[in-house]
């Protein structure tokens, strides 16, 4: 796992599957997504390496309830007084009271999905209680107010977080970049493995319309600057008629 400072107060924890982000406010740290089960010690090590302590984490925001984003949520929550936040529609999934719905796969997604599933750990994540269920428009106490944006389609309760001041977007899995590409020009594209593909595309368009400087994705390298250019380019590609 690598730790990269993207902009002041924002750190990218690069995992092979399911990235994690840290945001620092004067009164503590926020973890955005928690990675696969077993990621907790790696996240804690990154926090210590940056000069803080896991007890400095005051909240954990989950963009959705899939195992590569919420798998280590219980590990992070056990560090102290950590408030866990997730969209109300994904609360049963995060709390272990419901299973993830199967995605509606396009033909070309099937082989990729099988490959990804084969690489996931067999260990079931430990359920964690969601302390604050979120809804569209809720404000989260990050950077003077982060806006919760409901982005259904990947899961029913997928969300993004938008920080208007620093113009930072945490997009979850509604958007992605090629995880295998190190090319800084790698485009942004809609995420895969969605339960409702049309709904996911509508959510993608909603996020692409935001004024974004820095964009953070669950899969693929984040964009530390000029992210809006990439999002507008993605929208233009999607709007072109197919022959």
**CA distances, 28 to each of 47, 62, 81, 102, 173 (Å):** 11, 17, 11, 36, 26
pLDDT in tens, 145-157: 999 999 999 999 9
In this model, does residue 242 exceed pLDDT 60? no
Indicate the DSSP class of residue 83.
Answer: E
Question: What pLDDT, on the 0 to 100 scale, is given for residue 14?
Answer: 95
Q: Which residues of 110-141 are buried (b: 16+ CB within 10 A; e: fewer)?
A: eeeeeeeeeeeeeeebeebebeebbeeebebe
In this model, does residue 100 exceed pLDDT 70? yes
In this model, does residue 243 exceed pLDDT 70? no
In this model, does residue 202 exceed pLDDT 80? yes
Dihedral sign (CA 200, 106, 237, 20): positive
In this model, does residue 220 exceed pLDDT 80? yes
Strands in 45-145 per DSSP E: 57-61, 83-87, 132-134, 139-140
Question: What pLDDT, on the 0 to 100 scale, is given for residue 120?
Answer: 82
Provide the phi-psi class of 105: left if phi over 0, else alpha when psi is between -120 and 50, else beta.
beta
- Cα 156 from Cα 88, distance rounded (Å): 9
Average pLDDT, the chain: 94
Strands in 1-74 per DSSP E: 2-7, 10-14, 20-25, 28-32, 57-61
Which tokens in the block code for residue 23?
A: 């945001």
Provide the pLDDT confidence category of residue 30 given band limits of 50, 70 and 90. very high
Question: What pLDDT, on the 0 to 100 scale, is given for residue 118?
Answer: 87
**CA distances, 130 to each of 8, 77, 83, 173, 185 (Å):** 29, 10, 8, 20, 37
Which tokens in the block code for residue 81?
A: 């007084």
Q: Count CB neighbours of 184 within 10 A.
A: 8
3-state SS class at 76: helix
In this model, does residue 207 exceed pLDDT 90? yes
Residues 6+ apart with CB under 8 A from 240: none
Report the pLDDT averaged over residues 184-206: 93
Report the pLDDT averaged over residues 197-223: 96
Which tokens in the block code for residue 128?
A: 């964690």
């Amino acid at each position: 796992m690598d730790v990269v400072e993207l902009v002041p107060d924002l750190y990218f924890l690069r995992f092979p599957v399911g990235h994690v982000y840290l945001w620092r406010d004067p009164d503590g740290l926020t973890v955005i997504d928690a990675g696969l089960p077993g990621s907790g010690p790696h996240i804690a090590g990154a926090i210590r390496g940056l000069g803080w302590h896991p007890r400095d984490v005051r909240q954990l925001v989950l963009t959705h309830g899939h195992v590569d984003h919420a798998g280590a949520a219980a590990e992070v929550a056990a560090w102290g007084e950590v408030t866990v936040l997730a969209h109300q529609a994904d609360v049963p999934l995060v709390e272990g009271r419901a299973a993830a719905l199967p995605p509606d796969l396009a033909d070309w997604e099937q082989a990729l999905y099988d490959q990804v599933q084969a690489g996931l750990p067999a260990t079931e994540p430990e359920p964690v209680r969601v302390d604050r269920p979120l809804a569209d428009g809720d404000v989260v106490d990050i950077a003077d107010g982060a806006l919760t944006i409901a982005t259904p389609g990947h899961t029913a309760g997928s969300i993004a977080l938008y920080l208007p001041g620093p113009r930072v977007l945490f997009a979850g899995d509604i958007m992605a970049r090629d995880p295998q590409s190190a090319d800084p020009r790698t485009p942004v594209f809609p995420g895969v493995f969605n339960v409702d593909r049309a709904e996911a595309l509508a959510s993608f368009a909603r996020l692409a319309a935001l004024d974004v400087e820095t964009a953070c994705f669950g899969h693929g390298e984040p964009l530390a600057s000029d992210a809006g250019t990439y999002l507008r380019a993605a929208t233009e590609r999607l709007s072109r008629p197919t022959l």
